[in-house]
Amino acid sequence: EFDYKATSAVSSSDTEQQQQTPTLFFGEMVFPWFADEDFAEVSGVGMKSLAHALANRDDWESLYDKDHMRQVLDDGRSRVACAVYYDDLYVDFNACSKVTARGGPLEKAKVWITNEYQHSGLRDAGGSMFSKLYGMATGSVRVPS
């Protein structure tokens, strides 16, 4: 599980803590320190208070309902195929692997592991991506998963 508070608390002056903390990319996240450093110019429009309010929330619900995902795929009518980018800057490959592995909620998914695109497959080649994924889901495109 990702610990937002622990990650956002890493100090740029604490080199020992930095060495023990893995480098993670946060392309779609906001951290409280953004308002003090990288985006200080928007602090006056409420970014700092918003970032701190989000960081201090502790009532976040689970993003995905694992049991419901299994239930939907077990009904025999639903199919799923997905592209997983090995070096994706926004989605952790190991997290995807856990979700699609045996025993994971999406173990029945047909998985296309690729670096042909970098989190941008639908934008860069939407038609061919959709055709491949649809073919994987329906069985007309074979995959090793």
Span 83-93, average pLDDT: 87
Q: Over the stretch 32-87, which tens digit does the pLDDT of each residue have? A: 777 777 777 767 777 778 878 887 888 878 778 899 999 999 988 999 999 999 88
- Grouping H, G, I as helix, E, B as strand and the rest as coil, residue 83 is strand
Contact 137, 129 (CB under 8 A): no
| Alpha-carbon distance values, 37 to 31, 40, 48 (Å) | 10, 5, 11
- The residue ranking higher by pLDDT, 19 or 80, is 80
What does the alpha-carbon distance between residue 101 and residue 120 come to, in Å, rounded to a whole number?
23
- Grouping H, G, I as helix, E, B as strand and the rest as coil, residue 50 is helix
What does the alpha-carbon distance between residue 127 and residue 121 come to, in Å, rounded to a whole number?
9
Q: What percentage of the chain reaches a pLDDT higher than 90?
A: 33
Q: Residue 96, exposed/middle/buried by CB under 10 A (0-12, 13-18, 19+)?
A: buried
